[in-house]
Chains A and B, each alone.
Chain A
Amino acid sequence: MTRIVRIARESFRMARNNRLRAFIMILGIAVGVTSLTMIICVSQGVYKEVMDTVNRQGPDLLQVRPGSDKHTGLPSGSREVVSLIEEDVDAIRQHVGNIVAISPVKDRKEIEVKGGDNFTLTRVFGVAPMWDQIRDFGPHRGTFISEEDVSFAARVCLIGQTVKKNLFGEADPIGQTIQIKDVPFTVKGELVWKGISSAGRDRDDRIIIPITTYTKRLFRDVHLTQIVITVEDIDYLNKTVEDVSAVLRERHKLAPGEPDDFAMRTPQDLIDMAYGASRSLINLLTGIVGISLLVAGIVITNIMLASVSARKGEIGIRRALGARKNDILQQFMIECLFISLMGGVLGTILGYVGSIILSSMNVAASNVTPLAFVAAIITCSLIAVIFCIYPAKKAANQNPLDTLRA
């Protein structure tokens, strides 16, 4: 058994001998580490949520919507604003580089649809053939809308999984005819499952038809709901945003200084938006972590200082029996580290429980990550070293004679 192991065993024994002291120190640390763990779990959860959203939408996706609602991020408020038309799409396609695919989009909600013997209300989208690649929302079975479908304004459609279930149940919908606002359409495919969007909307409750069919046979809408663009090189995304903006401003004859009558949303905007919601919570937790760790440190210093004076006799005996100053220093440091780590483990457990509660109450997304445990261990070690070094040094520098007489 090496010297340091023997000293460490004494540290554990002395910590065990004074359980109340150890318990108070553990508690002090645990409070700080609980908040630390929670902040890490919550930021990880939010980060994951944001990245899921971005990846679902595609990190190379650029959305252009009518109206200047960039800061609210809500498309619905802009519905009255009519600024984008199909000629804008052609102009962007012609004048802006770094674009893989571009599609105009028109849509209306709560459209009556009959099919089989059933009836449903759903959202109808008019799109171009590239749309499925841009949104990664293609057919699960059948084929997507083709160039011919667009040229001939063909009465064909693809139906989302919810629509399929509502109209046909388990039956095969492909080749069937459905009535959208009493206009007959042939189902040429069913869309892949997408689930619920971050805004809480059922993304499977939709029907996709060619954009030309949408305007010529169903609605007389001239204005677009949005334009979706996939950029080629994400690194030049900002340049592409500027180019698209310039083209649109020129076409819409906006004078310099006049605000945009359209809004663009990049994946970065999505990230900012999602973080915004959790930012105040994360800021609050960060403050709590800082304060509580500082308090824990001060508690440790105080208790250890009191402990050093109470244990003068012990220190003197050890010194008389041959302990070097460094041995005493190490004994107190290891004792502190040990207690601190116990507090860290307790705090991590409490923090995990806390963050699970937070996410189950829908206060914040959280992710129980081993990273929090690693951070807790490092933090506790640092606290032990920083806040114990002074009491431990004091213990080590006691004159053995004075401590024996005490």
Chain B
Amino acid sequence: MIEIRDIEKTYTKASVATRVLHGITISVQRGEYVAIMGSSGTGKSTLMNIIGCLDKPTKGQYVLDGVDVLKLDDDALSALRNKKFGFVFQQFFLLERTTALENVLLPLIYTDKYPTGAIQLADKFLANVGLEDRREYFANELSGGQQQRVAIARALINNPDVILADEPTGNLDSQSTAEILEIFNRLHKEGRTIIVVTHDQAVAEHAQRILELKDGQIKG
């Protein structure tokens, strides 16, 4: 489903080129639960952003469901992000002064086919992550773990092919971390494709397959 071949990424800042990714090849099948591991500064977030169509590689190939992603324009990439991916970030990235419900509904604003009963759908996903009684709370009124669960509900509402999680438990205590990982396990059992980026061995171990990133290359 995801075919990445010989991806390179070079950042140029003040005319100094820094190569972050040195030719990475990954293939992820539908329904897989994959962890990308590595210590900080190994380019795992960059790789994640490239997979999520938020960033473009300097070189290489990326085919998603048979579509050459690197040939798409900005609008098409936006549509792809909306339809194919559900993002879960380390900093949650919920809108402040916006209720949990409204946050979950956000991806539906930019979808091409607005579903009937959108609010019931959002309520269903909020209930899935155990937050049905927090639907009218503003995001900034929720704890970190609750915010991350809202983010997961938001990632799921558009029924995406892939959940992309970038250090999803990086800002959470062990209790919340366990809850989030439990949710991921459940989603995996339901047949969803999950890619988690983490530096935490304990988090990575929940995945079926671990890819270790070191110095911009996949180890082994």
Contacts and interface: CB of A to CB of B under 8 A. Distances in A.
B132 to A, nearest CB: 22
A111 B21 CA distance: 110
Contact of B110 (A13, A323, A400): A323
A317 B93 contact: yes
Contact of B81 (A3, A7, A322, A325): A322
A324 B109 contact: no
Interface stretch (B35-43, B72-80, B195-203): B72-80
B117 to A, nearest CB: 12
Nearest to B106: A321
B33 interface: no
Contacts of B178: none
Contacts of B94: 317
Nearest to B116: A1
A1 B119 CA distance: 13
Indicate the member of B74, B82, B83, B110 with the most A CB atoms within 10 Å.
B110
B61 interface: no
Interface stretch (B22-30, B95-103, B121-129, B212-220): B95-103
B55 interface: yes
B67 interface: no
Contact of A314 (B79, B95, B102, B107): B95
B106 A324 contact: no
Interface residues of B, number: 29
Contacts of B109: 3, 6-7, 10, 318, 323, 327
Contacts of A401: 49, 54-55
A322 B111 contact: yes
A17 interface: yes
A3 B54 contact: no
Given A324-B79, A404-B93, A317 B106 contact: yes
Nearest to A7: B109
A65 interface: no
Contacts of A400: 54
Interface residues of A, number: 25
B42 to A, nearest CB: 17
A36 to B, nearest CB: 34
B184 interface: no
Contact of A320 (B81, B111, B114, B158): B81
Interface in A1-48: 1-3, 6-7, 10, 13, 17
B78 A324 contact: yes
A323 B112 CA distance: 11
Contacts of B55: 401
B87 interface: yes
A404 B46 CA distance: 13
A376 to B, nearest CB: 30
B83 A6 contact: no
Contacts of A320: 52, 54, 81, 87, 93
A30 to B, nearest CB: 25
Contact of B78 (A316, A317, A323): A323
A383 B172 CA distance: 46
26 contacts: A6-B114, A10-B109, A17-B98, A313-B93, A314-B95, A317-B94, A317-B95, A318-B109, A319-B78, A320-B81, A321-B81, A321-B107, A322-B78, A322-B83, A322-B110, A322-B158, A323-B78, A323-B109, A324-B74, A324-B110, A325-B75, A325-B78, A327-B110, A400-B54, A401-B54, A404-B93
Given A320-B87, A404-B54, 18 more contacts: A1-B114, A3-B110, A3-B112, A318-B109, A318-B110, A319-B78, A320-B54, A320-B81, A321-B82, A321-B110, A322-B81, A322-B158, A323-B110, A324-B74, A325-B75, A326-B75, A327-B110, A400-B54
